[in-house]
Amino acid sequence: MALTVEGLKKSYGNLKVLDGVTFSVEEGEFVCLIGESGCGKTTILKIIAGLERPDEGRVDFKGVNRMGFVFQDDRLLPWKTVYGNIQFALKAMGIEDGEVVRRIIDFVGLKGFENYYPKQLSGGMRQRVGIARALAVNPDLLLMDEPFASLDARTRERMQEELLRIVGGKTVVFVTHSIDEAVYLADKIVILSPRPARVIRTVEVSLPKPRDRASQEFAEFRRELYRSFDLYGRK
Amino acid sequence: MRLKGAILLILLWYLVSAFTELPHPHEVAETFFILLFNSEPVLGKTLVQHAAASLLRVLTASLLAFSIAIPLGIVSALNRTLAEIVTPMVEALRPIPPLAWIPLAYVIFAPLPNTVQVSQIFIVFVGAFFPCFVSVFDYSRNVPEELLEMARVFKAPERLILRDIVLLHSLQGVVSGVRIGLGVGWMSIIAAEMIATSGEGLGYFIMVMYEVGGRTAEIVAGMAMIGVIGYLMNTLLLKAEKLVMPWR
Ligand SMILES: Nc1ncnc2c1ncn2[C@@H]1O[C@H](COP(=O)(O)OP(=O)(O)OP(=O)(O)O)[C@@H](O)[C@H]1O
Ligand SMILES: [Mg+2]
């Protein structure tokens, strides 16, 4: 087990956000958190990353030394170029390796934009810089908060494919709104209730990867998930 | 659009000149261009020389002010104890206009051989210091929390956070602080020069032109020079901003 999240409770003032969230992530597993807007998904990631403290509950790691975080908002340094922003994460770890930065820029399809400032990039490109920054540190645990939300459908699918290719055996916790995205990416889907969030169902996605979005099995799996959303999601 | 504004201003100017002592625009323009490079007989100096004298005072005093205001602004923003000492002082002194310091400055600096110069430098210092400090302090204190969070996730050491996030964010405060400080400094020096015999300087020039018999064309030509230089300084600094902060 790489990560165990147990009984997380969190309130902001009177607003109860998390009401006992429990799930676990195996080493090398790709887990999608899915739930409606405002239910507390970002809050869960922040607690895992140590940016917020839960009121109750705990998070246990095993074999996690480096965490990468792809934020929902891109959080790029406005005064650094694409290159500089990615390099920042490496410098934070005391690594000065230009080759890694260049390779990762190439990887996320931003070659030629190394010297652009965030302001000069589109929303989707900024998001890709954020992804590149998280990958650059070669994390044991990758936390991703709706990283593809601002991409167009085609780029989004391409990035999903590439993401699976790069993260290979990495442990990933990936937040999304999209059932399709979850079914395509996840080994396991954690379905959260509307706020206050609880885990209402955990689904193992048994389909072999790479998955064919057009296949019968894919469609069936998706339909099944939609149904459970209708049952539990909308109270 | 700009041209239309300029034309309207000149028309209005003519209109006002018709009913008041205000010299006509063409008279001022003539005086301005003659005096630009030809000495005006009473003080024996050209407008350019007067402008250079004022500018030199402003630059000296402002640089002095900035070299204290910038580091103090950053350090106070990062250090709570220092902030608690410095901010009340600044808040108490800041509302006092630089000109209000003039009489006191002349008394305090009277024992020095060059009282007038020192007082003028002091007054510009006061004028340039506070806007610069406040701007730097505000920016340094308000580094976006999201960026600091990001740095924490990547376990960035304090030194890196300071260099790559805090200082670069403060730079915007430094740049606008310098621009505003110089602007206030420029206004202060003109006023300071009007109060005592300074030998040269645009403020002094205007004052003397008044005292020798209300030579309005010269007075307005001097005022125009003040405006031109203020405008050029601001424009130049805005250009420099783009250079210092290409990401904006
Ligand atoms: N710092 C905070 N202070 C107060 N309330 C907060 C804070 N952060 C989050 N919340 C509240 O907690 C709830 C959950 O927020 P969170 O960002 O975790 O939702 P989310 O599931 O990520 O939503 P989305 O899918 O829209 O990103 C929201 O109602 C939000 O208003
Ligand atoms: Mg969110």
Residue nearest to atom 23 of ligand 1 (CA): A38
pLDDT, tens digit, 9 for 90 and up, residues B85-99: 999 999 999 999 998
Residue by residue, DSSP assigns B135-195 as: HHHHHHHT--HHHHHHHHHTT--HHHHIIIIIHHHHHHHHHHHHHHHHHHHHHHHHHHHHH
**pLDDT category of residue B39 using cuts at 50, 70 and 90:** very high
Cβ–ligand 1 contact at A160 (below 6 Å): no
| Rounded-to-integer distance, Cα B54 and Cα B222, Å | 12
What's the gap in Å between the CA of B151 and the closest CA on chain A?
8
Share of chain A above pLDDT 90, in %: 64
DSSP state of B248: -
Average of per-residue pLDDT values in chain A: 91
| A24 exposure class (CB count in 10 Å sphere: 0-12, 13-18, 19+) | middle
**pLDDT category of residue A169 using cuts at 50, 70 and 90:** confident
Cβ–ligand 1 contact at A196 (below 6 Å): no
Give the DSSP H or E segment for A21.
strand A15-25
pLDDT, tens digit, 9 for 90 and up, residues A171-210: 999 999 889 999 999 999 999 999 999 999 999 998 888 8
pLDDT, tens digit, 9 for 90 and up, residues A16-69: 999 999 999 999 999 999 998 999 999 999 999 999 999 999 999 998 888 999
DSSP state of A210: S
The answer on pLDDT for A232 being more than 70 is no
Q: Where are the domains of chain B?
A: 39-244
A51 in reach of chain B (CB within 8 A): yes
Cis preceding-peptide flag for A147 (omega within 30 of 0):
no
Homologous superfamily assigned to B39-244: MetI-like (1.10.3720.10)
Q: What is the pLDDT of residue B75?
A: 95
Residues within 5 Å of ion ligand 2 by Cβ?
A 42, 72
Cβ–ligand 1 contact at A10 (below 6 Å): no
A73 in reach of chain B (CB within 8 A): yes
Q: What is the pLDDT of residue B100?
A: 92
Mean pLDDT, rounded, for A70-87: 96
Interface predicted TM-score (ipTM): 0.89
Q: Closest ligand to A16 CA?
A: 1
Residue nearest to atom 18 of ligand 1 (CA): A40
Q: Do A79 and B149 touch (CB under 8 A)?
A: no
| Rounded-to-integer distance, Cα B16 and Cα B8, Å | 12
Q: What is the pLDDT of residue A231?
A: 62
pTM over 0.95: no
Average of per-residue pLDDT values in chain B: 93
Please report, for residues A141, B21, B57, B188, the alpha-carbon distance to residue B48 in angstroms, rounded to integers and kept in the order given: 67, 26, 14, 19
- What is the whole-number distance in angstroms between the Cα of residue A43 and the centre of ligand 1? 6
pLDDT, tens digit, 9 for 90 and up, residues B104-160: 998 999 999 988 889 999 999 999 999 999 999 999 999 999 999 999 999 999 999
| Rounded-to-integer distance, Cα B126 and Cα B100, Å | 10
Q: What is the pLDDT of residue A235?
A: 44
Nearest by Cα to B174 from B102, B77, B107: B77
List of E strands, A62-124: 67-70
Our mutation pick for probing the ligand 1 site, out of A17, A36, A69, A193, counting the most ligand atoms within 8 A of Cβ, is: A17
**pLDDT category of residue B194 using cuts at 50, 70 and 90:** confident
